[in-house]
Chain A
Amino acid sequence: MIEVIIDGKKTEVAPGTTVLAAAKQVAVSIPTLCNDELLEPYGACRICSVEVMEGSRSRIVTACNYPVRKPLAVYTKSERTLAVRRVVLEMMLARWPNVKVVQDMARFAGVGEPRFTHPQRNEDPHACVLCGKCVRLCREGIWHEVLAFEGRGTSRRVVMPASDTSKLCNGCGACAAVCPTGAITMQDDPNGPADPKRIRKAGMVITREMILLDSHQARMRPTGTGHLVEIMDDYDLLPVHNFRFGSHPDAKKIYSPVLEKSYWEQHVFDGCALGCDMSCAKTVPGFVLRTGPNAGTTVIVEGPEYETLGGCGANVGCFDPAWVLEMNYYCDDYGIDTISFATLTAFVMECFEAGVLDTEKTGGLELRFGNGDAALELLHQMARGEGFGRIAGQGIRRMKQIFADEYGADPAFLQDIGMEAKGLEYSEYVTKESLAQQGGYGIALKGAQHDEAWLIFMDMVNKQLPTFEAKAEALHYFPMWRTWFGLNGLCKLPWNDVEPEDNAEEREPQKVPKHVRGYCNFFAGMTGKEVGPDDLIRMSERVYTFQRVFNLKMGFGRREHDAIPFRSQGPVTREEYLSRQDRYDGQLRDLLGLDPAAMTLDEKMAALRKHREDQYQKLLDAVYKRRGWTSNGIPTLAKVRELGIDQVEGVVDLLARHGVTE
């Protein structure tokens, strides 16, 4: 540590600390213009110039970027400092007499009328003063580098490449937010927001966090959700071989560092949401396809993100980025969802290995776990509507029916391992040890998709949902909250994939309350209507409950439709039980008071299964109660009235037809 004395106040700093930062430590403020917490110091405006004494030498340096390396004394108000500061501001005032920030700083420094006139005198109150913050933010912070300086000396100016506006600009507005003079304005968007400044202010909170915090939080910008592969593997949540296991020694072959090092292109605006500074989607350029109608072509693959890696990699046992990328590309090309493809293929593979299918039935395809070439051929067949692909492409729900009816397979076994709910294939997380997440998937309106709730850590790891009521409360709040993003056309990732530095101090950190308030500001800025967090939940509850009623109309809205396959709840096969024997035996002992040592494997599996199935039914009871639904999972008339959706024609009659009249 090195001693620094600033205006007589002593302090100690680590070597390399700037004079400006040191001054802050002792609450001495030095005026700045081109400096910003989001940016590397630049030393352009010279306003922060101060006199420093190192040894016997005294000289003027810019405080923002002068590193302390030896003991020194700083004078922020010496005659020499003030004289330098005045002349800098005088020159600026001469060139930009009407820019407010220049006027204010000049007045504060005691500068009157400038003694000279500037040849490029610019009377615009919103003139650009060449501080460079916009250029630097676009490059260092947003990683887009769309703005640059052009020209030298007095002809220096800020431009976009080649033209007045550039297609490369994603309209994030960060440059306008950081500009001190209002020289940059956003052309307001066609949605006609009531208060665009308010929206931008709320957005800059997230942008600031992305710039300062993301790189040591979830690393969304460099890796997107791809970093989840290694994490899920660590927590035994990565689906392997049709959700049988939660980890695999080969999973490291598709961890994000592999993708980051050799595949993903960085810093490319992905067009996913205009103006998003998380911009987390990845692309892989220069990929040469090996199979299918475009074999031999070099393409850009959009992805892969976690689900595609977890599904097309781990779940089907194809732990090789090349296979994942080829599946990713063709799924996109064919308009097939990678999650559905991965999960149905995993089902097919388990059926093949269990003898339900054979090469005769699959037309020669050896659909075993790890056979990426066979999986790809299946994908091509699905797209062409040919061969076994024509059957597989109908999805797990229909395959279960076909395999039972036409191949004589055991329907109970297929039901247990067929990972679908309401006909939608499960997305790529192992939920066996999280009752809350089993509900998150099973009760979800659209089927087994985790966009409604992702509670695995809160439930299974943090143990923050110990009671049914706590789980039901979480299964009320989070699906309602997450539905809100869909209602507003927003991505949920900025809500909790980056968090404020003080989020841990909040009473309910899982809700990321500061960001929720930000979304209230967003909504008010768009509509002109003031709302609080409870109002947002209410908006969703109305739509969500109506969707449940619509599900009822379409034949998916009762308790029986919230059923889930046992593979999502516990070990179906002996192999699965034995792979985590200590855990399961321990639970039989601790939760059920049984003695595993005195039981056969089949007895243990049966006892565990009964317990878990009972638990799920109890969870449904608790969730339905919390949501104001009947014990059959139907919204009550009272609830529907409360939300005003009884006004929609046909709703009340539909409920009555299902015996719901209260």
Chain B
Amino acid sequence: MSLTVNGDEHPFREGMTVAELLAEKKYSWPLITVYVSGARIPKSQWSTTVLRDGDVVKVIHLMAGG
């Protein structure tokens, strides 16, 4: 059971949310946009959007930087 996150495999757990995935990946950058299998998930829905096995997730980080 796995997800694809930015091209890499990531273990999938039944019931895991977008917010939990971001925490596991330590994706703490404040300017990111999340797409789950093509659909954009707004930040307000990260903790309530549940992922499914096989989902293709893109976590696009906006550049910024020092």
Contacts and interface: CB of A to CB of B under 8 A. Distances in A.
A510 B66 contact: no
A62 interface: no
Contacts of A462: 6, 58-61
B65 interface: yes
Given A461-B6, A462-B6, A463-B7, A496 B30 contact: no
A231 interface: yes
Given A462-B59, A496-B63, 4 more contacts: A305-B66, A428-B66, A429-B65, A450-B66
B30 A228 contact: no
Interface string B22-66: 000011111101000000100100000000000000111111111
Contact of B63 (A228, A305, A458): A458
A512 B27 CA distance: 21
A334 interface: no
Contact of A306 (B6, B59, B66): B66
B6 A219 contact: no
Interface string A485-524: 0000000000011010001100001101000000000000
Interface of B: 6-7, 26-31, 33, 40, 43, 58-66
A455 interface: yes
B62 A461 contact: no
A225 B29 CA distance: 12
B4 to A, nearest CB: 11
B6 A225 contact: no
Across the A-B interface, the 6 shortest Cβ-Cβ residue pairs: A454-B65, A457-B61, A504-B33, A234-B26, A234-B28, A497-B64
Q: Which of A305, A457, A458 has the most CB of B within 10 A?
A: A457
A380 interface: no
A427 B66 CA distance: 10
A228 B66 contact: yes
A486 B6 CA distance: 34
Interface in A58-90: none
The interface residues of chain B, by DSSP majority, are classed as loop
B18 to A, nearest CB: 15
B61 A458 contact: yes
Interface of A: 216-219, 225, 227-228, 230-231, 234-235, 305-307, 427-429, 450, 454-458, 461-464, 496-497, 499, 503-504, 509-510, 512
Which among B29, B30, B59, B64 has the greatest number of chain A C-beta atoms within 10 A?
Answer: B64
A509 B33 contact: yes
Contacts of A510: 62-63
Contacts of B26: 234-235
Contacts of A231: 28-30
B48 to A, nearest CB: 17
A509 B43 CA distance: 17
B61 A461 contact: yes
17 contacts: A218-B30, A227-B30, A228-B65, A228-B66, A234-B27, A428-B66, A429-B66, A450-B66, A454-B66, A457-B29, A461-B27, A463-B6, A496-B62, A499-B62, A503-B62, A509-B33, A509-B60
A454 B63 contact: yes
A429 B28 CA distance: 17
B61 A504 contact: no
A454 B60 CA distance: 15
B66 A509 contact: no
A547 B44 CA distance: 46
